[in-house]
Amino acid sequence: MALYFFTPFIAIILTILGGGIIFYILGFNPIEALKFYFITPISNLYGFSELLLKATPLCLIAIGLSFCFKSNNWNIGAEGQLTFGAIVGGGVALLFYNQEGFYILPLVILAGAIGGMIFALIPAILKTYFNTNEILVSLMLVYVSKLLLDYLVVGPWSNPEGFNFPETRQFSDSSRMPLLFEGLRIHAGIFLALAAVMLSWFILYKTYLGFQIKVSGLSLKTAKYAGFKGKTMILVVFMISGACAGLAGVGEITGPIGQLHRMISPDYGFTAIIVAFLGRLNPFGIIFASLVVALTYLGAETTQIFLQIPKYTGQVFQGMILFFLLASDYLLFFKVKILNLKKNELRH
């Protein structure tokens, strides 16, 4: 049990080692490069604010995903739910682009959550009533929502004064997340993430819904035998998950971005899958994991600036985390033994 929460740390250490080896092969001093990757980005206040800024959507989405994953529902399409949430929330923000009012931001946020929820309901309904595979459907819907966003920002919603750039108008200040500190980009969305952590902990460990999710995740046979309403539960966990992704999306566009354009998310929805597992699907573990993974985004940017390595190293690091996590989980209970057998002895 203790090991179960320990393997994420093993995975992180192995990832750092693996990263060092890659830097070395690329011809850099590994210690130096790792320092640029993991230390430099958060060595000042601005960097730290950027870390929290990136961790916020990752944490929110991963919290939502943990509901799905814990109950054996494989929602892979959080990126799509994020995008659709941003579209709906952004649409509301655009409606009010020239108005002021305290009620606008809550409306925008709510719209974003509902958008994500509706988009997540599609794979859920198809799964419960038509027995489709939610992995495929939710994944394919990502591309649907991205293309829809593309169409909107190029076509009907593009900024009339924007010289045909593929982007919408800037949202009015009433649609923007309040900044927490002057000069830093960290915004009030972080409170949404923290609230989601608390709320999810409460739901997962203190309510009947949480109990049903837990049992279904451990044994679907038992859930059936106990008479849980399996279909309702699938719909509910997808809705929770979609709402969280939608909130993350709306947090991005009302926070650092301030408008809709093509690149509202550097694949937060996919990366959050890694966050969810690295955090052991535990609300507090997810906070920790989202900070670690957010750092891989920042590190990729600094190494690009200082060492001229493409920022896609970030994805390499994220991939390594997942790889080492799965490997250490799998090998945790294995004993390594060197066998010295002649080939045909194996056949006896």
Partner 1 sequence: MATDLRISNISKIYPGCVANDNVSLQFKSGKIYALLGENGAGKSTLVKILSGVISPDNGEVFLNEKNLKLSSPLDAKKNKIGMVFQHFNLFETLSVFENLSIDATEDNKGLRVRINEILKKYNFSIDLDVPVLNLSAGQKQKVEIIRCLLRSPKVLIMDEPTSVLTEQETEELFISLKKFCDEGILIIYITHKLKEVLSLCDEVAVMRKGKVVSVSQTQNEKVETLANKMVGQKLAKIKKKINISKNKDEIFKVKHLNFYSDDPFETNLVNLNFSVKKGECLGIAGISGNGQNELFQILSGEIITPDTSIIFRNKEISKLNPKQRREYLMAFSPEDRISQAAVPELKIYENVALNNFKSSNFFEKGLVNERKIKEHSKKILSDFSVNTDNVELKSQFLSGGNLQKLILGRELITAPELLICYNPTWGLDVGAINYIHETLIKINDQEKSTILISTDTEELLKLSDRIAVIYKGKLSKIMPSEEVTPEKLGVLMGGGSID
Tell which residue, 196, 248, 255, 194, has the closest CA to residue 50. Answer: 255
Interaction of residue 215 with partner 1, rule CB under 8 A? yes
Interaction of residue 208 with partner 1, rule CB under 8 A? yes
Closest distance of CB 214 from partner 1, Å: 8
- Phi, psi of 258, deg, nearest 5: 80, 5
Interaction of residue 227 with partner 1, rule CB under 8 A? yes
44 vs 222 by CB, closer to partner 1: 222
Interaction of residue 209 with partner 1, rule CB under 8 A? yes
**Cβ-proximal residues to 286 (8 Å cutoff; 6+ apart), any chain:** 59, 62, 63, 66, 197, 275, 276, 279
Residue 102 carries which DSSP code? Answer: T
Among 106, 156, 221, 333, binds partner 1 (CB under 8 A): 221
Interaction of residue 228 with partner 1, rule CB under 8 A? yes
161 vs 345 by CB, closer to partner 1: 345
Among 13, 218, 331, 332, binds partner 1 (CB under 8 A): 218
99 vs 222 by CB, closer to partner 1: 222
Among 207, 232, 310, 331, binds partner 1 (CB under 8 A): 207
Which residue stretch of 201-209, 256-264, 274-282, 291-299 sits at the interface with partner 1 (rule: CB under 8 A)?
201-209
User: Do 57 and 64 form a contact (C-beta atoms < 8 A)?
Assistant: no
Interaction of residue 345 with partner 1, rule CB under 8 A? yes
3-state secondary structure of 263: coil
Interaction of residue 224 with partner 1, rule CB under 8 A? yes
User: Do 78 and 61 form a contact (C-beta atoms < 8 A)?
Assistant: yes
Closest distance of CB 337 from partner 1, Å: 9
Among 13, 222, 331, 332, binds partner 1 (CB under 8 A): 222
Q: How many Cα atoms sit within 13 Å of 232 on the Cβ side?
A: 7
Q: What is the CA radius of gyration of the chain?
A: 22
Residue 280 carries which DSSP code? Answer: T
Size of the site for partner 1 (CB under 8 A): 24
Closest distance of CB 135 from partner 1, Å: 23
Tell which residue, 194, 223, 192, 193, has the closest CA to residue 209. Answer: 223
**Residue indicated by tokens 């920790």:** 288
Closest distance of CB 201 from partner 1, Å: 13
Distance between CA atoms of residues 29 and 280, nearest Å: 33
User: Do 129 and 201 form a contact (C-beta atoms < 8 A)?
Assistant: no
Distance between CA atoms of residues 173 and 157, nearest Å: 19
Which residue stretch of 68-76, 188-196, 199-207, 270-278 sits at the interface with partner 1 (rule: CB under 8 A)?
199-207
Closest distance of CB 205 from partner 1, Å: 8
Interaction of residue 348 with partner 1, rule CB under 8 A? yes
Interaction of residue 161 with partner 1, rule CB under 8 A? no
Among 35, 185, 214, 311, binds partner 1 (CB under 8 A): 214
156 vs 227 by CB, closer to partner 1: 227
Instruction: Report the amino acid identity of residue 130.
Output: F
Q: How many Cα atoms sit within 13 Å of 246 on the Cβ side?
A: 26
Where on the chain is the footprint of partner 1 (CB under 8 A)? 205-211, 214-215, 218-219, 221-222, 224-229, 344-348
